[in-house]
Amino acid sequence: MTIVDILEQNAAKYGDETALVEINPEVKETRRTTWRDYELVEPSRHHPHFRREITWSVFNEKANRFANALQARGIGKGDKVAILLMNCIEWLPIYFGILKTGAMAVPLNFRYTSDEIKYCLDLAEVDVLVFGAEFIGRVEEIADVISERRLLIYAGSGCPSFADDYYEMTVECSSSFAKPELTEDDDAAIYFSSGTTGFPKAILHAHRALLHSCRVEQAHHGQTHEDVFLCIPPLYHTGAKMHWFGSLLVGSKAVILKGTSPETILRAVSDEKCTIVWLLVPWAQDILGALDRGELKLGDYTLSQWRLMHIGAQPVPQSLIKRWLEYFPNHQYDTNYGLSESIGPGAVHLGVENVNKVCAIGKAGYGWETKIIDADGNEVKRGEVGELCVKGPGVMKCYYNDPEATAKTLHGDWLLTGDMAMEDEDGFIFLVDRKKDVIITGGENLYPVQIEDFLSGFKKIKDVAVIGLPDTRLGEIAAAVIELNPGVECTEEEINEFCHALPRYKRPRRIIFAKVPRNPTGKIEKPKLRKLYGGDGLVAVQNRS
């Protein structure tokens, strides 16, 4: 059995029921589509946004049409098809169409520059690139080079001359498809690492890993056929897609929302009767801020059906969840931990019954094992810091075309995560920091996440990132980049006073009032901050002794 079989089972069992909804608050007019079986709802008084939906049978038919179009062009088992699209209702049928042929799906980050796109296509040895309207300029810059041995397919209005038209390719294709024999051991997808330390690595996963992520998500969050999942993060990333896999497993509806404003999120939850929402820390903070300021009123929305809010991709401040539960006391809450190398979220999770352990990432997830090791590979005692390792059916096969990096990360069946962690007396795992982000100041190890968690308890602070900056005397010092809540004023002295509760060696030596940059999956872009503030051009910075 593979994940493709689950889609086909849903089409047979729930064919006329809604599978996917796309909501785009920014689109005010009907977009072109040559597929007549979308249900289109144009903006009106009742629907103040553009909305499309498809059923499970149509979802499967669209995947079949694309699979036929690819197969007619010689694409099959062992080939690779890259997807460079913003979130849209076509995204997942394209993904499953690729998998049906036996080819590998290769999702690309929508923030990639032309050079990064070319790099990833070359590294993964991609045969086909499917791209959308937002990427015409970037693809055109490299089209002459990348099209020499690749098919370029455009999914959008106004197909450029250097690409084939996705809609024209698929509209006349059969809605049934005879797929090749596939097993759990066959290669299924190549995902790319975040690339926060340079160009990304290509992560190869088998069908087994995708299937396991379905089971993990459903085991952790108890999805039923009646649940409705609100999907906001980018589908190119394992996080969003693997959380949606829980909905796939039970054949329940999912809503793809193109927008992250607090009003947009609450309106979608209300209108679509969403029961499960996965948020990133900044979006949860924005919702709380809007509620605190009275810009949103919960009474204006239908939210009683919303049962679960969960967060992943970055450490979660305890103060954030405490405030959240004050507004939403009936919500279940969960934290999910994972890497693209472990097929995204779920290798470790908190569990909805353990809200008293917020700050921990939890225990080994369904079907997973964990251990924490020292520099020599020996397991550390509880309470000691070491590198977190995970083991399970969702571990990657390798870094594609990079045996050296693979050997450093895979030790037998164990995946070394690069995250420093400790386990408490109850067996709950706490992230301490990324191995590469640990700050060594005067011989002492500082773990930025611990300082960030402390500072996030200051009510004037919206977001915070702690980085190490060079220092001639101490080697490194901790600097706190602080983003304040809108309309709030704060001085360095106030931060200094608040930090008196920290041991002296943990107190940030520099305070920088600035925006905290995060990537599309919510992770703080610390290399960008170190580059910006690590040299002589330090701006808006206060020194502290």
pLDDT band at 32 (very low <50, low <70, confident <90, very high): very low
CA distance 69 to 1: 24
Q: Which residue has the tokens 């590198």?
A: 387
Q: What is the pLDDT of residues 470-506, one digit of tens each?
A: 876 677 788 999 999 888 899 999 998 999 888 787 8
Q: Are 394 and 368 in contact (CB under 8 A)?
A: yes
Q: Do domains 3-221 and 438-543 have the same CATH topology?
A: no
| pLDDT grade for 518, boundaries at 50, 70 and 90 | confident
First to last CA, the chain: 61
**Residue 47 pLDDT grade (very low, low, confident, very high; cuts 50, 70, 90):** low
Residue 369, amino acid:
E
- Residue 510's DSSP bridge partners are 479, 543
347 in Cβ contact with 338 (< 8 Å):
yes
Q: What integer pLDDT is reported at residue 218 of this predicted model?
A: 95
CATH code of the domain occupying 3-221: 3.40.50.12780
Alpha-carbon distance 252 to 226, whole Å?
A: 6
* HEC string for 452-499: HHHHCCCCCEEEEEEEEEEECCCEEEEEEEEEECCCCCCCHHHHHHHH
CA nearest neighbour of 276 among 332, 336, 350, 325: 332
pLDDT at 444: 65
Q: What pLDDT is stored for residue 414 in this prediction?
A: 97
pTM higher than 0.75: yes
pLDDT in tens, 308-325: 999 875 667 788 898 999
Residue 263 class from Cβ within 10 Å (0-12 exposed, 13-18 middle, 19+ buried)?
A: middle
Residues 179-200 have pLDDT tens digits of 899 999 999 999 998 654 457 8
Per-residue pLDDT for 40 more than 70? no
What span, in angstroms and rounded, lies between the C-alpha atoms of 56 and 65? 14
| pLDDT surpasses 60 at 204 | yes
Q: Is 52 helix (H, G, I), strand (E, B) or coil?
A: strand
CB 82 within 8 A of CB 94: no
DSSP secondary-structure letter at 234? -
Q: Please compute the mean of the pLDDT values over residues 216-235 and round it to a whole number.
A: 95
Tell me the percentage of the chain whose pLDDT exceeds 70: 90
- How does the average pLDDT of the chain come out, rounded? 88
Considering the domain 438-543, what is its CATH architecture?
A: 2-Layer Sandwich (3.30)
- What percent of the chain is modeled with pLDDT above 90? 64
For residues 363-369, average pLDDT: 96
d(CA 358, CA 430) in angstroms, rounded, equals: 10
Q: How high is the pLDDT of residue 34?
A: 40
- In this model, does residue 526 exceed pLDDT 50? yes
Instruction: Parse the chain into domains and list their residue ranges.
Output: 3-221, 438-543
Give the pLDDT of residue 266. Answer: 97
Pick from 237, 205, 204: nearest CA to 110? 237
**pLDDT at residue 33 is higher than 70:** no
Reduce the DSSP state of residue 536 to 3 states and report it: coil
Residue 44 has pLDDT above 50, yes or no: no
Which residues are paired to 144 by β-bridges? none
Cα–Cα distance measured from residue 459 to residue 444, given in angstroms and rounded to the nearest whole number = 29
Token pair belonging to 488: 């709030």
pLDDT at 80: 98
How confident is the model at residue 50, as a pLDDT? 83
pLDDT (mean) for 81-85: 97
156 pLDDT above the threshold of 80? yes
Alpha-carbon span 301 to 293, nearest angstrom: 17
What's the CA gap between 324 and 277, in Å, rounded?
A: 13
